[in-house]
Amino acid sequence: MALYGIPVLVLKEGTKRTVGRDALRSNIAAAKALAEVLKTSLGPRGLDKMLVDSFGDVTVTNDGATIVKEMEVQHPAAKLLVEVAKAQDAEVGDGTTSAVVLAGTLLSKAEELLDQDIHPSIIIEGYTKALKEAIRILREIAIPVDINDRESLRKVVRTSIASKYIGGDTVANKLTEISIDAALAVAEPRPDGTKDFKVDDVKIEKKKGGNVLDTQLVYGIVLDKEVVHPGMPRRVEKAKIALLDAPLEVEKPEITAKINITSPEMIKAFLDEEAKMLKEMVDKIAEIGANVVVCQKGIDEVAQHFLAKKGILAVRRVKRSDLEKLERATGGKIVSSIRDLKPEDLGYAELVEERKIGNDKMVFIEGCKNPKAVTILVRGASDMVLDEIERSLKDALNVLRNVMRTSYIVPGGGAPEIEVAMKLREYAAKIGGKEQLAIEAFASALEEIPMILASSCGKDPLEVLMELRKLHAEGKKNAGIDVLIGEVVEDMTTRNVIEPLLVKESMIKTAAEAALTIMKIDDIIAASPAKKEKEKEKEKEKKESEEVPKPEF
């Protein structure tokens, strides 16, 4: 840009700018590419992705959230979709793949409308109306569920973990029962009759070795630690547990201090005084009746000796999160100063025992009276299997939390998407104008989910879509595709394929909001790379030129 022949620099040198439709198309292309990666991993017949990071560590999974987190995405628009998956995972813990795929499809349909010279603002307005109507329709078709009925919870969990590879029905049944038991143990009733719990209250502890079927639920906490001193008991019944986040050590001065010692007696007096202080700490713990100490910080060797003499089992360097879970499980209270320790601060457990699991020792704190935190000890042959089991259990727990919160479900297998799409087309006809096209595009995007499910089990997606549309037009609103047998079923609830309403609502909301955010962008201003990066590139080019062999004459 020049003004009276003088160049005016608005942006920094090296900055790249993409404007208008070019910017929008660039963003849409990036989002579509990411959605395309995840598309094939949707549903029970979805395929896995192998992700290798810069350190060479391998992750094999079809979990949408894990795939997008492990992928090193560079494009800013694709990063937005990664954030969508993370948000969906944080909010409801399931439906991440569907959210990214739907967002990509919504943008793909919007691109078709842009080709017809429809302004992005009109598409945004149409999509916003379609989103509101879609949520209303979903709530209308939702089925109430009794959250106290174990069979209903079992069906919801099985649908969630059906898409993960966890080694067949026997393993799936075992994990289903464990996750339901864990959720029911920590769930607390709410005034409106629903229940709620934090997924973090269920600790998942992985230990390589054994079989997946050796996975067990412990009504208490398992610590991946061992008892600190060989002279301590390895088993304590009717344990009274002191939870400390203070060190059982003599505190070091904050400033540098020097002590001038002139005789051996002075050294002995100094050490005796240190031992006396530690003995007083241990005496205080024993005096209030504690026979187990779980400490977040260190325990001095002299203190270990005194604890062992008193017959107190001690564990040190326990993570803060584990200490908080112990507080919820045992009913104890975390104390920051040993001086303030009182008998009512002690937690209770029927048994505290050190056991050998695989090649390692672990401390089991179990038999708590009313545990509000429990542990699932996962066993498996390899780290890859353990990680996939952990992801399956987290999905199962999230699904249980969601259904307990809202106590409404919708059928799976693409049934709600087809029903919402059909109702949206009727709604679009009432709206009219160019917005009608945007609402219809939203409906078509929703239909992409059952088409992908059909494709993953080897069926013709278009044939399946036509058959589902026909059944829904006849009023069979629960009709969907059972991917495991590859057939269209008139009522998916009879096949026990159901999902929490909260997951479906959140999936459509986050996908639509991501698509709307990307469609509002009409200008990309990318700063030039940092100087260090430029210098690195120059060095790389220089090295490459030096490595080229010179011709011999």
Instruction: Decide: 374 and 185 in contact? Cβ < 8 Å.
Output: yes
522 token code pair: 């009409």
Amino acid identity for residue 315 in this structure: V
**Considering 59, 61, 63, 94, which one is annotated as catalytic?**
63
Asked if 97 is an active-site residue, the reply is yes
Catalytic-role residue among 96, 105, 176, 375: 96
Length of the chain, in residues? 553
Which one of 89, 322, 395, 482 is the catalytic residue?
Answer: 395
Contact 219, 374 (CB under 8 A): yes
The amino acid that residue 512 corresponds to is A
Rounded Cα–Cα distance for residues 296 and 184 (Å): 29
3-state secondary structure at position 179: helix
Distances (CA, A) of 41 to 78, 437, 511: 18, 30, 17
* Of 97, 159, 406, 510, catalytic: 97
Question: Residue 524 is which amino acid?
Answer: I
And the tokens for 155? 């069906």
Alpha-carbon span 224 to 355, nearest angstrom? 10
Q: Which residue has the tokens 């439906």?
A: 95
Q: What letters, b where the CB count within 10 A reaches 16 and e where it falls short, cover 453-466?
A: bbbbbebebeebbe
The residue with tokens 């090193």 is 72
Contact call for residues 156 and 166 (beta carbons, < 8 A) = no
Which residues are the active-site residues? 63, 96-97, 395
